[in-house]
Chains A and B, each alone.
Chain A
Amino acid sequence: MASQSNYHPQIKIEPVAKWGFPDFKELFHYRDLLFFLIWRNIKVAYAQSVGGLAWAIVQPAMQVFIFSLVFGGLLDLDTDGIPYPLFSTVAVIPWIYMSGAMASGSSSLLTNVSILGKVYIPRLIFVLYQVLGSLVGFFISLILLFAVLLFYRVGLTMNLLMLPVVFVLMVMVPLGVSLWLASLTIRFRDVRIMMGHLMRALIYIVPVMYPSSQVPADVRPLYILNPFVGVIEGYKSCLLGQPFYWDSLMTSAIISVVLLVTGALYFRRMERVIVDVI
């Protein structure tokens, strides 16, 4: 009987020994699955909820509202002359994406244990669908961003041309972190427990509640080592016309590439033994 696909691999199954990169050809064959898993996640996340996808707007709106109340109103924080709600919206929206993608990407293998032990799928799919799937919420929350930009009559600048680069960086950072943490979580559950604390602490070391101008200059070299900083500063430059923070942007780009490459290598090595150590 003729097979229905032109994908006829010769599969060699050998002990884990070699380091290597993911099999992109195989990954490409599974692109439909990636799509279905993303779509399943959205469908399941909002199943039987009246609001549905509108919740993707409510979450950042609430966050911005609370921050504006506390930091803009109560503490009257100096945000380089930018109205606090505007400053906050531009930072909160990529932040919610990155923290969400990192959290779900890191636990993606644990949450799919039932499939892992029953059928072979390139395990990278699980991390990818979580990190890429979170983009759906991000795109919806852009409605809030546009509304706020319109409200404050923010003009467009040439800085906007850098937006695609910043956007790609915004996906790369949580993807790189997730590749590492997803495989580590499988071996040491401590990582998952740590994640919760890490996420709560992380928001204080990114310029989301406060502008990075509040960070002392001599601490800044250390501060920008956090790759999330460059992304959030990048969004501020692109959307609000502030000059680019090249130091943080470049650092973020280098660190995210390193995270992604090493993460992919480590993940590739660990994905084979996942079922044995789970």
Chain B
Amino acid sequence: MKAIQVDNLSKLYRIGNTSDLESSETNRFVKLLQRPLNNFRKYRSLYTFTEQELAGESNSKDILWALRDVSFDVDPGEVVGLVGANGAGKSTLLKIISRITPPTRGRVTINGRVSCLIEVGTGFHAELTGLENIYLSSAVLGMRKQEVDRKLDEIIAFSGIEKFINTPVKRFSSGMSVRLAFAVMAHLEPEVLIVDEVLAVGDAEFQRKCLNKMSSVGRAGRTVLFVSHNMAAVTRLCDRALLIRNGQLVMDSTSAEVVHNHVAADSDNPSYREWEDLETAPGDDVVRLRGVRIVNANGGQMSSANASRPVGIQMTYDVLEGGHILHPYFTVVTDAGVNLFSTADSDEAAGQVVRKPGRYISTAWVPGDLLAEGSHYVRVVMRSVTKQYRPFTERDVVAFTVVDDAYGSVSSSWWEGRPTGLIMPKLDWSTEYVPSEMIIEG
């Protein structure tokens, strides 16, 4: 028996996008009189659709297929990530599965109790005390009172706000409410858990706690459907992921593969740039930048890199005026804006070459098992040693994402925690055993 079975699920929304402007005053006046009638028709048909619209033959701008023929199923105990750009239909899918909104077509079958965490603190009321809110919020999320009674001490201890448990929540700091709300969520025991972007709120400590709790929920044999924009969380928590694009399920595979695919399609951070017109390319009469790209070991262009594999940063430039000693270099910046490192060709001979005019391609290889997961931005700089100036400095020219496949060499040791630090090097360790008789005390 499947935990969740989704068959040809479609959802059509009426988005209320019908503004017809009338040109003549008379027509406008007639429209004004007709407005109550039109409003009535409009509000009446908010959730009903014509045959034509349902068949997908309508070109009306008034409707939107938020989901189209999505099918998949989830086995009990599976932790499945849901990945996709904003507006791809992930939340709509979650809302249908959690029964907040009905599908337009298709069906979902769920075996077991469902809890959905779409927001932290659903059902909280500011006038009630912390304790009262524990009961209320648990009930809203589908728990029985006797279950809460049994877990109450555990919930309070987990929240870490024992002292304020009888204080109205309106006098809580926002951090305290979030902790209390999460403590309630963490103690739900549904058979199927649906989690939306809950992890997006709160500080790093809170997010770490959420991730740990999620992974322990998965190990406890419960089914989890998890939506996140945090690709590192998806690869770490989920074995399998679904990629949704424009309301359609485009990929159903291992989470690492899906994340790579999703990141590659993310056009916000181009992984390569080219300047076709020499005149407008960055640089001057001495040298001009023609292209920058991220490559893999085979020289193929890529936008997401496996954490354990080397990443090549490559720039192509045309030297227009000979006789200069040129030093190209890159700076890699994290998405938090921290300069991770700068690199130039350290070979002394290469640093002394007086360049002839022509095209050059320089590649810097970042070894595998070094960069941490996440987005990295590249700054490209050319320095002229001869004249002591920089013909070009291009910030955030290209970007690439490092994805740690959960099976990779690096992450296996990281399972419990969030990797901390800007880099994730794989280091050689040695451990020696010292027999107690060898230890000379004093």
Contact with A along B90-122 (1 / 0, CB 8 A): 000001111111111111111111101011001
List the 7 shortest-distance A-B pairs measured between CB atoms, nearest first: A33-B139, A120-B99, A13-B108, A273-B47, A47-B127, A277-B46, A11-B110
Instruction: Flag whether B257 is at the interface (Cβ < 8 A).
Output: no
Residues of A whose CB lies within 8 Å of any CB of B are 1, 3-5, 7-16, 29-30, 32-33, 35-37, 40, 43-44, 47-48, 114-121, 187-188, 272-273, 275-277
Contact B107 A13 (CB under 8 A): yes
Distance A255 CA – B112 CA, assembled complex (angstroms): 39
- A7 contacts across to B, CB distance below 8 A: 113
| A33 interface neighbour in B99, B109, B140, B220, Cβ under 8 Å | B140
A10, A11, A121, A273: which has the most chain B beta carbons within 10 Å?
A11
Indicate if the CB atoms of B100 and A120 lie closer than 8 Å: yes
With CB as the reference atom, state the residue of chain A lying closest to B14.
Answer: A276
In angstroms, Cα B6 to Cα A13, docked, is 9
A138 to B141, CA, bound (A): 30
Inter-subunit contact A115/B123 (CB<8 Å):
yes
- A14 and B107: CB pair below 8 A? yes
List 5 additional contacts besides A15-B107, A115-B122; criterion CB under 8 Å: A11-B108, A32-B139, A37-B136, A119-B100, A272-B102
For A10, A12, A44, A276, which residue has the most chain B Cβ atoms within 10 angstroms?
A276
Among A13, A16, A119, A187, which residue has its beta carbon within 8 angstroms of that of B141?
A: A119
Assess whether A14 is in contact with B141, with CB atoms less than 8 Å apart. no
- Which residues of B (115-143) have their CB < 8 Å from a CB of A? 116, 118-119, 122-123, 125, 127-128, 132, 135-136, 139-142
**Cα separation A43 to B133 with both chains bound (whole Å):** 12
15 A–B pairs (Cβ distance < 8 Å), ordered by A: A7-B113, A8-B112, A8-B191, A10-B111, A11-B108, A11-B109, A11-B114, A15-B105, A32-B144, A44-B128, A47-B127, A48-B127, A118-B118, A118-B119, A275-B100
Interface residues of B (CB under 8 A from A): 13, 40, 43-44, 46-47, 95-114, 116, 118-119, 122-123, 125, 127-128, 132, 135-136, 139-142, 144-145, 147, 150, 168, 189-191, 220-222
B234 CB to nearest A CB, Å = 22
Known A-B contacts A40-B125, A276-B13; A10 and B109 likewise in contact (beta carbons under 8 Å): yes
**A33 surroundings in chain B (CB, below 8 A):** 139-140
Which partner residue on chain B sits nearest A1 by CB separation? B220
Report the bound CA distance from A33 to B99 in whole Å.
18
Contact between A119 and B101, CB atoms less than 8 A apart: no
Q: Among the listed B95, B109, B112, which residue makes an inter-chain contact with A275, where contact means beta carbons less than 8 Å apart?
A: B95
Cα-based distance from A33 to B135 in the complex (angstroms)? 9
Contact across chains for A277 and B47 when beta carbons are under 8 A apart: yes
- Min CB–CB distance A180 → chain B (angstroms): 16
Say whether A120 contacts B147, CB under 8 Å: no
Q: Are A277 and B43 in contact, with the CB atoms below 8 A? A: yes
Residues of A within 8 A of B132 (CB): 40, 43
Most chain B beta carbons < 10 A, residue from A30, A36, A277 = A36
Nearest A residue to B188, CB-CB: A4
Q: Whole-angstrom distance from the CB of A195 to the nearest CB of chain B?
A: 17
Task: Establish whether residues B113 and A8, one from each chain, have CB atoms under 8 Å apart when the complex forms.
Answer: yes
- For B43, what are the chain A residues with a Cβ–Cβ distance below 8 Å? 187-188, 277
Please name all residues of chain A whose beta carbon is closer than 8 Å to the beta carbon of B122 when the two chains form the complex: 114-115, 118-119
Q: Cβ of A14 and Cβ of B103 under 8 Å apart? A: yes
- Bound-state Cα–Cα, A14 to B6, Å: 10
Q: What CA separation (Å) do A188 and B97 show in the bound complex? A: 27
Bound-state CA distance A272–B100 (Å) is 7
Bound-complex Cα distance A276 to B49 (A): 13
A36 touches B98 (CB 8 A): no
Minimum CB–CB distance for A55 against chain B, Å: 16
Q: Give every chain A residue within 8 A of B128 (Cβ-Cβ).
A: 40, 43-44
Given contact pairs A7-B113, A44-B127, A15 touches B141 in the complex (Cβ within 8 A)? no
| Cα-based distance from A16 to B123 in the complex (angstroms) | 26
